[in-house]
A = this chain, B = another copy of it.
């Protein structure tokens, strides 16, 4: 509600800013680790004098990360890694904080790339990327900026794959930390985050009672393990399908029933795919399922359930019989319920990972930036794992935020461990 005259636009803006601030405030309270890092950064200023160009989802959680880096002394320009996810109120509030934001919800492809160029105009020392688009432009269209860039972070698996190819071809010109894969993130994100939110999505979509149901979980990686634990924790009998004998054996030793999908298809009331592979549930499986079976996917891509086969088998499809639930009626009268059209059920039918998960991965990101700032002189171009010290520090701060203490080694214990490792 600024200005004595004119600019009603400013009025809209200040309301937007206020809305953005509330949203960022709410996110911040679920991000105690990043908040603690921000406080330390404010005292130690590890990023003083650094310029950062970031291409990330412009959301409240990202805003908390930007605030943390700024507290550490960095100057920041931010573009959106996806225009669909941009929260305009957050963008407005970030602008007020002094972050250069180049993002607006729903822009076209051209504007999207223009925004990235504008963010790069800051001439960064360090870059943060989510999918490798910014780094790619840097190496192709903005090579004049490369000299100054001394490091980067990449958030996604896809981005890492592109970077590793660049590194293999000796095209990558600076060190990049693969912040998407840390022990703490895997724990929070894959096992506990996906575990809970997948079940949450299924409950919101169907309101089905899981106690006493047979839940088939395809895939026993970190995510599948998390989903299986939660389904069991809600009273379901859990059947695991796997292709890897070692994982299958582990599932069996944890008391799960392990079967091939052919058998599981007949037994299941609810099916959850989380394998990373395609066509895990195929026509031959759909053909033998129980009337009323529920099909959900928690894997990244919507290829795990063969929806085309389902379409071909169905004589009728009733969309939206429940939120995010489509009913496929087969020739023999059986009805199969497909959730979220086979896309990620935890994002579509529920709200994705709780904010606590973003707290962990953005904290790793903030500490990785500080590590880059400190170590970049020593680092050759290439893709780096998150340093173990960052992982340990994130865990330490998370425990502190939860009020949990751990033991510390006595000097005799240090000595004992050391001598043992030396074998003497």
Residues from chain B with Cβ under 8 Å of A242 in the complex = 406-407
What is the CA–CA distance of A330 and B250 in the complex, to the nearest angstrom? 32
Point out the residue from B212, B277, B392 that lies within 8 Å of A402, measured CB to CB. B212
Whether the Cβ atoms of A187 and B250 lie closer than 8 Å is yes
- Interface residue tally on A, bucketed by range: 35 or more
Q: Are B356 and A209 in contact (CB under 8 A)?
A: yes
Query: A355 at the A/B interface (Cβ < 8 Å)?
Result: yes
Q: How far is the CA of A335 from the CA of B253 in the complex (A)?
A: 24
Interface residues of A in 394-424 (CB under 8 A from B): 395-396, 398-399, 402, 404-410, 412-413, 416-417, 420, 423
Chain B residue at smallest Cβ distance from A263: B405
How many Å lie between the Cα of A163 and that of B95 in the bound state? 61
Query: What residue in chain B is nearest A393 (Cβ atoms)?
Result: B245
CA gap between A30 and B291 in the complex, in Å: 11
Tell me the bound Cα distance from A277 to B421 in angstroms.
11
In the complex, are the beta carbons of A211 and B416 less than 8 A apart?
Answer: no
Partner-binding segment picked from A10-18, A50-58, A225-233: A225-233
Docked pose: A230 CA to B263 CA in angstroms: 28
For A235, the chain B residues whose CB sits under 8 A away are 192, 195-196, 229-230, 233, 253-255
Contacts of A245 in B (CB 8 A): 392, 395-396, 398-399, 406
Contact of A406 among B196, B244, B351 (CB under 8 A): B244
Q: Check if A165 is an interface residue, CB within 8 A of chain B.
A: yes
* Whole-angstrom CA separation of A416 from B252 in the bound complex: 27
How distant is the Cα of A278 from the Cα of B210 in the complex, in angstroms?
Answer: 31
When A162-B423, A209-B192 are in contact, do A248 and B356 touch as well, CB less than 8 Å?
Answer: no
Contact of A255 among B212, B252, B409, B410 (CB under 8 A): B212
Residue A357 interfacial (CB < 8 Å): yes
CB distance from A100 to the nearest CB of B (A): 29
Instruction: Give chain A interface residues in 262-313, CB to chain B under 8 Å.
Output: 263, 276-279, 282, 292, 303
Number of copies: 4
Which residue from chain B places its CB closest to the CB of A359 in the assembled complex?
Answer: B209
Stretch in A69-77, A108-116, A145-153, A200-208 touching the partner:
A200-208
Inter-subunit contact A209/B357 (CB<8 Å) = yes
Nearest residue, chain B, Cβ from A204: B204
- Across the two chains, which residue of chain B brings its CB closest to A219? B407
Chain A 346-373 residues near chain B, CB threshold 8 A:
350-351, 354-357
B395 contacts A246, CB within 8 Å? yes
Contact call B241/A207, Cβ cutoff below 8 A: no
A256 at the interface (CB under 8 A from B): yes
- Rounded to whole Å, the gap between the CB of A271 and the closest CB of chain B is 14
Question: Chain B residues near A248 (CB, 8 Å)?
Answer: 395, 399, 404, 406
Known: A203-B196, A245-B399. Is A413-B232 also a contact (CB below 8 A)? no
Say if the beta carbon of A68 comes within 8 Å of chain B: no
Give 4 A-B pairs besides A164-B423, A187-B250, A191-B253 with Cβ atoms closer than 8 angstroms: A188-B253, A207-B350, A212-B252, A241-B406
Residues of A participating in the B interface, judged by any CB pair closer than 8 Å? 26, 29-30, 161-162, 164-165, 183-184, 187-188, 191-193, 195-196, 200, 203-204, 207-212, 229-230, 232-237, 241-246, 248-250, 252-261, 263, 276-279, 282, 292, 303, 321-322, 335, 350-351, 354-357, 391-392, 395-396, 398-399, 402, 404-410, 412-413, 416-417, 420, 423
Closest CB pairs A-B (n = 5): A233-B233, A161-B423, A245-B395, A209-B354, A192-B211
